[in-house]
């Protein structure tokens, strides 16, 4: 869920981290005015509280300009700041209250980071927390380090796995296993950005089966589903690893072919025709630099309807009967 605040339009991975830094910085700053002990590092609390608040403001102002690398760096800053605070804690209670922030950081990385990044951040928390505990040199902190570190790893890995599964389900067509419209739009946005930077051509292909309704009428919807699954499977094997294949619903599929000009896209389509006898029509459009994806779709759709008007091939119903 994007956050729109005044003139700011923030993706969830940015505003969530900004809120985390805001809450952490505010809590630390507030704690400096109501210390748990007369030995509490009041000055350090105020300095690091200011760091947290400054980080929150920077994320809000940076908005969509904040890169993935900067987000990881911001997480690292929070981990180090918490660890420095722990190293100066005067009581076990203060140490555990401060260490609680680690768990929120773990939840954040589980929701928005890759599996590798999750493990790296959890490892950073474990090591930095251990260093802070050693410097603090309070009694009984070894078991506290074990408990907090175990909780961080469990939360990060379990939530990360569940979140990855949910993302996959949200982006995948339940019948064929290829991308759905939502998943395609996410992947296509990345490919357009790459093509825009490199200048490489990028082809969009819209595919529609010919007379697919006849398959359902003659053989039932189950037969139609089998045909869609067979096509998606055969095409996935025939495409290059970097190509995108998605089912947009019904009998409509969409391909995105990176680093592919119009002539090469025609060759890719012919390869797809060779792997399955079903009849289908396709429209091709090559993306124009800085063009909205919707405009490219419109041109590919126009080519598709033109191709369907002149198509004279076997229908999917005939393909099933002869197969």
Q: What is the pLDDT of residues 126-181, one digit of tens each?
A: 999 999 999 999 998 999 999 999 999 999 999 999 988 887 778 899 899 999 99
Q: Are residue 237 and residue 307 in the same domain, yes or no?
A: yes
Q: Are residue 70 and residue 203 in the same domain, yes or no?
A: no
Q: Is residue 176 included in any domain, yes or no?
A: no
Rounded CA separation 71/59 (Å): 9
Of 117, 151, 171, the position where a domain reaches its end is: 171
178-236 confidence digits (pLDDT tens): 999 989 998 998 899 888 888 899 999 999 998 888 777 777 888 889 999 999 999 99
Q: Are residue 187 and residue 50 in the same domain, yes or no?
A: no
Burial class (CB within 10 angstroms; exposed 0-12, middle 13-18, buried 19+) of 165: exposed
Q: Is residue 19 included in any domain, yes or no?
A: yes
Q: Is the pTM of this model over 0.85?
A: no
Domain residues for 37? 3-171
Q: Are residue 131 and residue 11 in the same domain, yes or no?
A: yes
Q: Are residue 30 and residue 142 in the same domain, yes or no?
A: yes
Tell me, yes or no, if 251 is annotated catalytic. Answer: yes
Report which of 287, 66, 286 is spatially closest to residue 192, judged by C-alpha positions. 287
Strand partners, 203: 257, 286
270-284 confidence digits (pLDDT tens): 999 999 988 899 999
50-85 confidence digits (pLDDT tens): 999 999 999 988 887 888 899 999 999 999 999 999
218-228 confidence digits (pLDDT tens): 778 888 899 99
Q: Are residue 242 and residue 262 in the same domain, yes or no?
A: yes
Q: Is residue 193 included in any domain, yes or no?
A: yes
Rounded CA separation 17/111 (Å): 11
Q: Is residue 59 included in any domain, yes or no?
A: yes
Q: Are residue 136 and residue 214 in the same domain, yes or no?
A: no
The pLDDT value recorded for residue 252 is 92
Asked if 257 contacts 264 with a C-beta cutoff of 8 angstroms, the reply is: yes
CA-CA-CA-CA torsion sign (5, 170, 256, 252): negative
The pLDDT value recorded for residue 5 is 52
Q: Is residue 101 included in any domain, yes or no?
A: yes
Q: Are residue 283 and residue 142 in the same domain, yes or no?
A: no
Q: Are residue 127 and residue 98 in the same domain, yes or no?
A: yes
Q: Are residue 75 and residue 136 in the same domain, yes or no?
A: yes
Exposed e or buried b per residue across 58-71, where buried means at least 16 C-beta atoms within 10 angstroms of its C-beta: ebbebbeebeeeeb
Q: Are strands 252-258 and 202-209 parallel, antiparallel or unpaired?
A: antiparallel
The total number of structural domains that make up the chain: 2
Q: Is residue 90 included in any domain, yes or no?
A: yes
Annotated active-site residue in 251, 274, 295, 301: 251
Q: Are residue 144 and residue 215 in the same domain, yes or no?
A: no
Of 143, 171, 199, the position where a domain reaches its end is: 171
Q: Is residue 151 included in any domain, yes or no?
A: yes
Q: Is residue 226 included in any domain, yes or no?
A: yes
φ/ψ region of 140 (left if φ > 0, alpha if ψ in -120 to 50, else beta) reads left
| DSSP single-letter state for residue 63 | G
- Judged by average pLDDT, the poorest of 15-24, 112-121, 303-312 is 303-312
Radius of gyration of the chain (CA): 27
Of 171, 198, 217, the position where a domain reaches its end is: 171
Q: Are residue 43 and residue 165 in the same domain, yes or no?
A: yes
């Amino acid at each position: 869920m994007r956050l729109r605040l005044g003139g700011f339009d923030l993706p969830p991975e940015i505003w969530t981290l900004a809120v985390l830094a805001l809450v952490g910085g505010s809590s630390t700053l507030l704690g400096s005015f109501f210390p748990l002990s007369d030995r509490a590092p009041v000055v350090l609390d105020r300095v690091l509280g200011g760091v947290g608040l400054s980080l929150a403001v920077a994320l809000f102002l940076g908005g969509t300009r904040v890169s993935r690398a900067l987000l990881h760096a911001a997480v690292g800053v929070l981990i180090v700041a918490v660890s420095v605070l722990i190293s100066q804690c005067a009581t076990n209670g203060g140490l555990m209250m401060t260490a609680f922030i680690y768990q929120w950081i773990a939840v954040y990385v589980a929701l928005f980071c890759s599996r590798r990044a999750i493990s790296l951040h959890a490892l950073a928390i474990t090591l930095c927390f251990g260093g802070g505990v050693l410097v603090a040199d309070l009694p009984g902190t070894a078991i506290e380090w074990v408990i907090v570190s175990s909780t961080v790893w469990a939360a990060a890995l379990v939530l990360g796995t569940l979140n990855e599964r949910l993302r996959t389900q949200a982006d995948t067509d339940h019948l064929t296993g290829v991308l759905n419209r939502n998943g395609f739009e996410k992947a296509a946005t990345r490919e357009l950005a790459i093509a825009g930077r490199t200048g490489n051509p990028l082809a969009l292909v819209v595919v529609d089966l010919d007379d697919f309704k006849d398959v359902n009428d003659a053989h039932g919807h189950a037969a139609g589903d089998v045909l869609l699954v067979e096509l998606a499977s055969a095409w996935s094997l025939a495409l290059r690893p970097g190509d995108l294949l998605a089912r947009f619903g019904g009998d409509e599929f969409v391909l995105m072919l990176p680093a592919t000009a119009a002539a090469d896209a025609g060759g890719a389509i012919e390869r797809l025709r060779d792997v399955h006898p079903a009849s289908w029509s396709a429209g091709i459009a090559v993306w124009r630099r800085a063009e909205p994806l919707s405009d490219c779709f419109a041109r590919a759709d126009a080519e598709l309807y033109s191709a369907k008007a002149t198509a004279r091939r076997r229908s999917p119903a005939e393909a099933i009967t002869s197969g």
